[in-house]
Structures are given as structure tokens and as C-alpha cells.
């Protein structure tokens, strides 16, 4: 029997507001800030302290929901989710349950030949918990656990998909698209290693073709695309093996052990009634009217899928369009370069610009561990450089050097080419003279070539390029060399 995987993802998105969800404490980077310096009676859960709703967080929630094609509810209600955990000082989390902020959305994923629509069940607002830090200091063998409440009360948006995902790769594509949308909207830094975007994967398997949904298991706290993919792959294998040996799957919550590539049992799954949800008595219902919704909609930037479609229409490959649209800053960098390229005479086309960015520029950026906006390369310099190559004023391998130098110094390519003496020789007389000299110095090799050892042609080509310090126009060298060899062959025939 063959099995298919059924996957639904929950995403927890920290929102980059200035202040927390229900108090005025600042939101800080919890990986670098001094612990417990941004805490007040509200987020520390002191009795009698009253929460109030962060308007900006609600606006971000609405913006994201609209980008995910969701219906925004006119009235949503905050609810208390009661449970005990040391990082939750109130003993409950304020979340939304029966009436979430938005529901019934979708996003399309996959490439342009093969798309799937993944439906979004709901989007709701809640608050993050504090952070527990377990150390081995203190009395052995137990060590100590420390609590940092800087993160307690930070606005979180939870995005819950329908179980529409069918493979680990599709789960990663969905997660990447979500990541793209959130960073385009500039509501989340996208730094997954800092935990600002975390996924939970719900996984079940069933006989291929069955319509029944089997019991799922949930893998918590997945902080990278790699962990998401590997943990789902692992879990699918586990469940298939279990079904094959007639075991039953129980609804469970699992953790992911990245170093051993295994899931770890955490607890048998609690059900929603275990949380004793009830409407938060300290907060009024949240009302979103059309005016508010429309004014938020009017701030919506172009989203990744629109950029992708635009880039395809410029003649880029599906891959290039996807890579260049994956981050808003890269997409905007490319777009300005295309605009400046079209103003050049002759114009520099989008395709070579895309090639230069995705190959040479990306490798410089990756080596430096920087992002595109941290590198000092005005688009006009990139376009001018491509122009220099196309017009034969420098050759492609020199141009790679020039690109590196431009990123270092911020100078224009014309100046760098002149400074480094990388002008390309298009001077036919010099090239012909050099070719003749190289042939004359190597009579044996000429004989071998004429006797049919064709590979010697490339050796001669290398010799001529070397003799001209690599600065001559390779196309001209090639044709000149071909002509000279034809001539030699003709001469030999007439000897
Ligand atoms: P909870 O809040 O208890 O985790 P939800 O009903 O909100 O439960 O569902 C959580 C996630 O589990 C959703 O993303 C949903 O698509 C997914 N899901 C539900 N049933 C299944 C199933 N049988 N197999 C895989 N995923 C499922
Ligand atoms: Mg869940
Ligand atoms: Zn506070």
C-alpha cells in the first residue's frame, strides 16, 4: 500500500512593533538585550494590572491577513488560554480563539508550471511568552533555570494553514513564501535563527487516495527551513512504519533534535478544552471597520508573486525571477538597475543584469556575509560595467575583478578599469602581430595542429591571451588566430 502525507503548518510571527502587545514596554532583541529590563506589571502578570491593545500590532495583523487573501472579521475577541508554564507569569496567555482577527485566506506556492493553493484557516493575534534559559551552573546535577521576561508580551501573529500540504518540500515552499511576504511587508526581520519566525508542523499520513484524515502529530518550534523539511521527512517515515506494523498513532506533541535528526516525545496532545478558553474580561471586543481596513490596504506594497510575474515578463527564467523576487530589497535593487539599464545607449537588458546579480554580485555578498543594501554598489555602476563588457572595452574576466573593486571602493567602473589597466585591446594590428609571433615561436605545435591535433588550438589561444596580459578581446583573438591558421594550412598545401 502507498501512503501520502498530510501536513498543516502553524507559523508564529513576532511583530516588529515598538512596544509590546498589551503594555508600553519596548520590544527588544531578546538574543542580545540585558535580561528582564523591559518588564512592567502588565507583562509580568501582577494582580490587578490592566492590558490595553497595541493599535499598531492590530494594523500589522490586518495588513498580513489582507496579503494572505483572508477575510478580516468585523469583530474579533481576545481570549484567555489557561495553562501553567514557568515562562508564562500570568498563568494564561491572551490569544484569540473562537473569533480570530481573520480567516479563510490562501497563498499560491510552487513554480509557474506547477502551483498549489494552500488555504489559510485563520490568523490571530496573541502575546509571546518569556524565555527560559537552562544552564549547568549551580548545584550539580540539576543546574539552574533562569527566566527572562523581555519577550513576555511581545506581539505574535499566528497563521494557521489548512492541511493542504502534501510533502516536506511543499511545506518548505509554503514557509518560504510566507517568509517572503512578511519581509516584503517589513513586519518581521525574517531572522529565523533569532526565533522571530517559528513553525509548527502537524503531520499525518494516510493511504493514497483516501479522503479520511488520520490522527496527526505536531512538531514544535522549528526555527529553520532545514529543520522543517528534515523533521517532516522523519515524521512521515515514522508514521508509515507504524501503520505498516499495525500500530496506532496517538495525538502527540514532539520536539525536534537537530543534531541527532530525530523527533523527541514531549507530551500527549492537550485538547482545546484543556485550556479552558474564555473571553478576556479586561479587553473589549476588537472592532475593525471598512475605513480602517481600506486605509491599511492602501499601504500594501507589491508582493513577491507580483514581482515574480513582472520579472518573468522581462524575459528572466523562472529560477532567476524567483531568486530576485525572494527579498524585497533584492527585487528593488534589480528593478532600479533595469530602469537605469534601459536609459543606456545601447540599452543594457534585464537578462544580463539578472545574471550579473545572481552570480557575481551574490557571490561577493555571500562571502562578505552581507545583504544587498549593506554593499556600496550603486546600480548605475553595475549597469555601466556590463556596458563596458558589451562594447568590448573590458573583457568578462577583468570585469569580475572590477566588480569586486567597485564593491570595495564605491568608484565607477571606468575609473577602476583605468586605474588597474584593464582596458581591453581591440587593436587589430597588435593582436595580429602577437598571433603571428606566437605561431612563429612554436613551429612544432603549428605542425601538430595542422596534422589534426585540434586541441592545440586552445593552447595557442591561451598563449596569445597571456602574451597580451589577458587584456585583449577574446573574440578578436579567436578569429584572428583562426584566420592565421587557415592561412598556414593553405600555405602548406601550396608548398
Ligand atoms: P491546534 O490549535 O490544537 O493545534 P488546529 O485545529 O488549529 O489545532 O490545527 C492545527 C493545525 O493542524 C492546522 O494547521 C491544521 O491544518 C493541521 N491539521 C489538522 N488536522 C490534521 C491532520 N489530520 N493531519 C495533518 N495536519 C492536520
Ligand atoms: Mg497546534
Ligand atoms: Zn510590560
Work out the pLDDT band at 432, boundaries 50, 70, 90: very high
pLDDT (tens digit per residue) in 116-167 = 999 999 999 999 999 998 887 766 667 788 999 999 999 999 999 999 999 9
Domains of the chain: 3-296 (no CATH), 304-420 (no CATH), 428-494 (1.10.10.410)
Q: CB of 162 closer than 6 A to ligand 1?
A: yes
Q: CB of 336 closer than 6 A to ligand 1?
A: no
Cα separation of 485 and 490, whole Å? Answer: 8
Which ligand minimizes its atom distance to the CA of 159? Answer: 1
Query: How far is the centre of ligand 1, averaged over its atoms, from the C-alpha of 64 (Å)?
Result: 21
| Contact status, residue 238 vs residue 282, Cβ threshold 8 Å | no
HSE-CB for 166 with a 13 A CA cutoff:
11
Put residue 180 in one of left, alpha, beta given phi > 0 → left and psi -120 to 50 → alpha.
alpha
- Ligand 1 atom nearest to 162, measured from its CA: 16
Mutation to probe ligand 1, out of 160, 239, 243 (largest number of atoms < 8 A from CB): 160
Cα separation of 13 and 187, whole Å? Answer: 9
The 3-state DSSP class for residue 375 equals coil
Query: How far is the centre of ligand 3, averaged over its atoms, from the C-alpha of 195 (Å)?
Result: 20
What pLDDT does 423 receive?
A: 75
Work out the pLDDT band at 491, boundaries 50, 70, 90: confident
337-376: b (≥16 Cβ within 10 Å) or e = bbebbeeeeeebbbeebbebbbebbeebbeeeeeebeebe
What pLDDT does 494 receive?
A: 61
φ, ψ of residue 2 in degrees (nearest 5) = -100, 150
For the residues 457-470, what does the mean pLDDT come to? 87
**Helix segments in 100-208, DSSP class H:** 168-184
Mutation to probe ligand 1, out of 216, 228, 277 (largest number of atoms < 8 A from CB): 216
Q: CB of 202 closer than 6 A to ligand 1?
A: yes
Nearest protein Cα to ligand 1, atom 15: 8
Cα separation of 163 and 203, whole Å? Answer: 9
Q: CB of 160 closer than 6 A to ligand 1?
A: yes
- Ligand 1 atom nearest to 269, measured from its CA: 3
Q: CB of 144 closer than 6 A to ligand 1?
A: no
φ, ψ of residue 307 in degrees (nearest 5) = -60, -45
Q: CB of 159 closer than 6 A to ligand 1?
A: no
- Ligand 1 atom nearest to 215, measured from its CA: 23
Nearest protein Cα to ligand 1, atom 13: 8
Work out the pLDDT band at 281, boundaries 50, 70, 90: very high
Query: How far is the centre of ligand 3, averaged over its atoms, from the C-alpha of 40 (Å)?
Result: 4
Mutation to probe ligand 1, out of 68, 93, 202, 275 (largest number of atoms < 8 A from CB): 202
Q: CB of 213 closer than 6 A to ligand 1?
A: yes
Q: CB of 161 closer than 6 A to ligand 1?
A: yes
Mutation to probe ligand 1, out of 95, 97, 126, 163 (largest number of atoms < 8 A from CB): 163
Mean pLDDT over each residue of the chain, to the nearest integer: 93
Query: How far is the centre of ligand 2, averaged over its atoms, from the C-alpha of 156 (Å)?
Result: 15
HSE-CB for 93 with a 13 A CA cutoff:
24
- Ligand 1 atom nearest to 9, measured from its CA: 14
Asked if the model's pLDDT at residue 495 lies above 70, the reply is no
| Contact status, residue 124 vs residue 96, Cβ threshold 8 Å | yes
Min mean pLDDT across 2-6, 24-28, 181-185, 274-278 is at: 274-278
Percent of the chain residues topping a pLDDT of 70: 98
For the residues 99-119, what does the mean pLDDT come to? 90
- Ligand 1 atom nearest to 122, measured from its CA: 7
Which ligand minimizes its atom distance to the CA of 200? Answer: 2
The pTM score is 0.84
Query: How far is the centre of ligand 3, averaged over its atoms, from the C-alpha of 207 (Å)?
Result: 49
Query: How far is the centre of ligand 3, averaged over its atoms, from the C-alpha of 334 (Å)?
Result: 41
Query: How far is the centre of ligand 3, averaged over its atoms, from the C-alpha of 12 (Å)?
Result: 20
User: How would you classify the pairing of strands 197-207 and 217-222?
Assistant: antiparallel
Query: How far is the centre of ligand 1, averaged over its atoms, from the C-alpha of 230 (Å)?
Result: 19
Min mean pLDDT across 190-199, 269-278, 371-380 is at: 269-278
* Closest residue by Cα to residue 20 from 135, 151, 161: 151
Asked if the model's pLDDT at residue 114 lies above 60, the reply is yes
For the residues 11-39, what does the mean pLDDT come to? 95
| Signed CA dihedral, 364, 366, 370, 371: sign only | positive
pLDDT (tens digit per residue) in 204-225 = 999 999 999 999 999 999 999 9
Mutation to probe ligand 1, out of 5, 6, 8, 100 (largest number of atoms < 8 A from CB): 8
Asked if the model's pLDDT at residue 14 lies above 90, the reply is yes
Amino acid at each position: 500500500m502507498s501512503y501520502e502525507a498530510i501536513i498543516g503548518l502553524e507559523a508564529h510571527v513576532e511583530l516588529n512593533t515598538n512596544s509590546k502587545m498589551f503594555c508600553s514596554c519596548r520590544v527588544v532583541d531578546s538574543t542580545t538585550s540585558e535580561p528582564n529590563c523591559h518588564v512592567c506589571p502588565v507583562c509580568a502578570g501582577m494582580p490587578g494590572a490592566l492590558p490595553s491593545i497595541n493599535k499598531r500590532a492590530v494594523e500589522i495583523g490586518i495588513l498580513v491577513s489582507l496579503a494572505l487573501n483572508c477575510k478580516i472579521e468585523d469583530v474579533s475577541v481576545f481570549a484567555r488560554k489557561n495553562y501553567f508554564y514557568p515562562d508564562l507569569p500570568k498563568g494564561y496567555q491572551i490569544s484569540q480563539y473562537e473569533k480570530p482577527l481573520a480567516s479563510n485566506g490562501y497563498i499560491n506556492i510552487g513554480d509557474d508550471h506547477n502551483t498549489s493553493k494552500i488555504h489559510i484557516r485563520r490568523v490571530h493575534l496573541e502575546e509571546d511568552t518569556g524565555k527560559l534559559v537552562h544552564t549547568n551552573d549551580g548545584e550539580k546535577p540539576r543546574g539552574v533555570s533562569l527566566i527572562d521576561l523581555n519577550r513576555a508580551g511581545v506581539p505574535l501573529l499566528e497563521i494557521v494553514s489548512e492541511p493542504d500540504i502534501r510533502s516536506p518540500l511543499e511545506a518548505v515552499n509554503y514557509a518560504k513564501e510566507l517568509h517572503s511576504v512578511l519581509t516584503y511587508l517589513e513586519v518581521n526581520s525574517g531572522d529565523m535563527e533569532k526565533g522571530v519566525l517559528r513553525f509548527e508542523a502537524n503531520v499525518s499520513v494516510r493511504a493514497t487516495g483516501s479522503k479520511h484524515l488520520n490522527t496527526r502529530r505536531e512538531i514544535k518550534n522549528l526555527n529553520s527551513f532545514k529543520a522543517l523539511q528534515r523533521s517532516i521527512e522523519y515524521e512521515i517515515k515514522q508514521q508509515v512504519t507504524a501503520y505498516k506494523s499495525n500500530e496506532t498513532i496517538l495525538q502527540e506533541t514532539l520536539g525536534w533534535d537537530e543534531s541527532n535528526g530525530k523527533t523527541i516525545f514531549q507530551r500527549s496532545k492537550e485538547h482545546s478544552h484543556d485550556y479552558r478558553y474564555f473571553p478576556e474580561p479586561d479587553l473589549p471586543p476588537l472592532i475593525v471597520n471598512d475605513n480602517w481596513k481600506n486605509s491599511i490596504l492602501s499601504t500594501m506594497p507589491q508582493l513577491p508573486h507580483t514581482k515574480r510575474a513582472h520579472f518573468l515578463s522581462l524575459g528572466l527564467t523562472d529560477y532567476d525571477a524567483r531568486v530576485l523576487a525572494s527579498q524585497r530589497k533584492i527585487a528593488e535593487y534589480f528593478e532600479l538597475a533595469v530602469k537605469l539599464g534601459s536609459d543606456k545607449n545601447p540599452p543594457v537588458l534585464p537578462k544580463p543584469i539578472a545574471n550579473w546579480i545572481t552570480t557575481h554580485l551574490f557571490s561577493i555578498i555571500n562571502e562578505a556575509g552581507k545583504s544587498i543594501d549593506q554593499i556600496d554598489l550603486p546600480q548605475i555602476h553595475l549597469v555601466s560595467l556590463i556596458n563596458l563588457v558589451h562594447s568590448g572595452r573590458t573583457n568578462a574576466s577583468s570585469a569580475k575583478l572590477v566588480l569586486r573593486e567597485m564593491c570595495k571602493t564605491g568608484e565607477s567602473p571606468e575609473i577602476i578599469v583605468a586605474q588597474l589597466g584593464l582596458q581591453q585591446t581591440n587593436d587589430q594590428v597588435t593582436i595580429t602581430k602577437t598571433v603571428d609571433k606566437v605561431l612563429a615561436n612554436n613551429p612544432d605545435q603549428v605542425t601538430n595542429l595542422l596534422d589534426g591535433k585540434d586541441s592545440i588550438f586552445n593552447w595557442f589561444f591561451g598563449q596569445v591571451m597571456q602574451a597580451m596580459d589577458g587584456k585583449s578581446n577574446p573574440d578578436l583573438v579567436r578569429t584572428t588566430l583562426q584566420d592565421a591558421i587557415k592561412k598556414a594550412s593553405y600555405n602548406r598545401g601550396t608548398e
